[in-house]
Amino acid sequence: MYQHILVPIDDTSVSERGLHEAILLAAALKSRLRLLHVIDDFQAQVDQSPESTFDAAVQEVRRKAEALLATAQKSALESGISAECVLIDAVPTTVSDLILQEAQSRKCDLIVMGTHARHGLIRLVFGSDADLIVRGSLVPVLLVRSS
């Protein structure tokens, strides 16, 4: 059924819930995972970095992203699930576009991701990558809500 599952992750608890569900699903279906982290708003992350030089700050942002992916991959491997990791910079496009491009180019047949399930004004202000992905995806999308 679903053999190649794309799992976009970030450093939020809702993303961890999405990863957990993807691991359970992959175990049941004997699927493999493609773990994706998109460095979004790179300049803001660099500006907040405690490093003193731009190059050092860029390396720190990348190091944190790589560590996040490594932790997610370890969780999958501990459950006996094959997982490859991908790190992409969002510049000059959007996170949702990159996730959709990754799913299509790598022939993923399912996207599993966490969502904050925001409503009303908060959703209008912050937007929703999950909503854009659901609307634009050519493959099924499983959204895991925060508790």
Domain ranges of the chain: 4-145
User: What pTM did the predictor assign?
Assistant: 0.87
The DSSP line for the chain is ---EEEEE--SSHHHHHHHHHHHHHHHHHT-EEEEEEEE-SHHHHHHH-S-SSHHHHHHHHHHHHHHHHHHHHHHHHHTT--EEEEEEE-TTS-HHHHHHHHHHHTT-SEEEEEE----HHHHHHH--HHHHHHHH-SS-EEEEE--
Q: Under CATH, what is the fold of the domain 4-145?
A: Rossmann fold (3.40.50)
Instruction: Read off the pLDDT of residues 6-50 as tens digits, 9 standing for 90 and up.
Output: 999 998 999 999 999 999 999 999 999 999 999 876 655 556 656
